Amino acid sequence: MSEPSLKKTYSGKVRDLYEIDGRRMLMVASDRLSAFDIILDDPIPGKGEILTQISNFWFEKLAHIMPNHLTGDTVYDVLPEAEARMLEKRAVVAKRLTPVKVEAIVRGYLAGSGWKEYRQNGSVCGIKLPEGMKEAQKLPEVIFTPSTKAEVGDHDENISFERCCEIIGQGPAEEVRAKAIRLYSEAAAYAETRGIIICDTKFEFGLDENGTLTLMDEVLTPDSSRFWPKDQYREGSNPPSFDKQFVRDWLEQSGWSKQPPAPKVPAEVIAKTVEKYREALNLLTGR
């Protein structure tokens, strides 16, 4: 992937940020894949472009719920033409925001770490659930289960809503919870009409210079969510997914200790993952 000529200010698990001016930055989605908070050696070709297109689709679709980080500028407004051409599908011009220090996770179904926790004590992040629920079962209502944001290489940690209030304040925590649940609920209802069940997702929020809560980073992609094909969904078993869960499942079965370095992912697993990402983009956007 070619680098823009702007000054790089941050390199995350998946995204790199470059300075434009005091109000704007260029956010570039790489083809890096992170699983269990470790960046894998093998990139997923085209992933950054696919995820950026999916996020942009949702930013537009959900703009009536809350503002997002897009400025309305294109890469052609801020980069030389040759660079803009190479990056146009994987980069966006974003507002500079102050990140909210929790990850807003919303769950509509019982899966993943939520299912593990439920089996142990009948709750998810301190929220009591009915007895006798099965894996992948739809929850009686959508729940907000925040987590702390980890530094690169550390693991995010599930926290209670009370702890979320301690970290960011009660008012902001309630606003984050309400907005995250509404974003998820509207998106999940739409996705279901396109043959995709969104099991759960993670939103990132920031504050603009006026303190307005703003949706940022990536939205409802197969990297930040668990997407299931609706026609293969069965309560009681984990459905095959459209997302990096495919790689995660392979890593789980490989016997890896989840400490770096990660094992080399086979070419056919990478190819299948790209295919799944592309299928999600096509189904959601009709493109």
| pLDDT tens track for 209-264 | 999 999 999 999 998 999 999 999 999 998 888 877 778 889 989 999 988 888 99
Give the domain range for residue 53: 7-95
Summary mean pLDDT of the chain: 93
Judge contact between 156 and 103, C-beta under 8 A.
yes
Residues 105 and 130 in one domain: yes
Closest residue by Cα to residue 265 from 40, 45, 51: 40
Output the pLDDT for position 247.
Answer: 86
The pTM (predicted TM-score) of the whole model is 0.93
Q: 59 in helix, strand or coil?
A: helix
- In this prediction, residues 163-183 reach a mean pLDDT of 97
In a domain, 35, yes or no: yes
Residues 125 and 53 in one domain: no
Strand blocks (E) in the chain: 7-11, 15-19, 24-29, 34-35, 38-39, 91-95, 98-99, 102-109, 123-124, 127-128, 138-144, 147-148, 157-158, 196-207, 213-216, 225-229
In a domain, 250, yes or no: no
Q: How far apart are CA 257 and CA 12, in angstroms?
A: 22
Residue 205 phi/psi, 5-degree rounding, is -125, 155
- In this prediction, residues 181-207 reach a mean pLDDT of 98
Overall number of domains in the chain: 2
In a domain, 253, yes or no: no
Residues 120 and 154 in one domain: yes
Residues 106 and 234 in one domain: yes
Output the pLDDT for position 151.
Answer: 67
In a domain, 283, yes or no: no
- Identify the residue with better confidence: 244 or 160: 160
- In this prediction, residues 21-43 reach a mean pLDDT of 92
In a domain, 158, yes or no: yes
Residues 186 and 203 in one domain: yes
Residues 150 and 234 in one domain: yes
- In this prediction, residues 125-149 reach a mean pLDDT of 95
Residues 106 and 91 in one domain: no
Output the pLDDT for position 154.
Answer: 64
Residue 246 phi/psi, 5-degree rounding, is -60, -45
Task: Take residue 133 and report the two structure tokens written for it.
Answer: 């629920």
- In this prediction, residues 41-60 reach a mean pLDDT of 95
Kindly report the CATH number assigned to the domain that includes residue 152.
3.30.470.20
Domain boundary among 95, 120, 140: 95
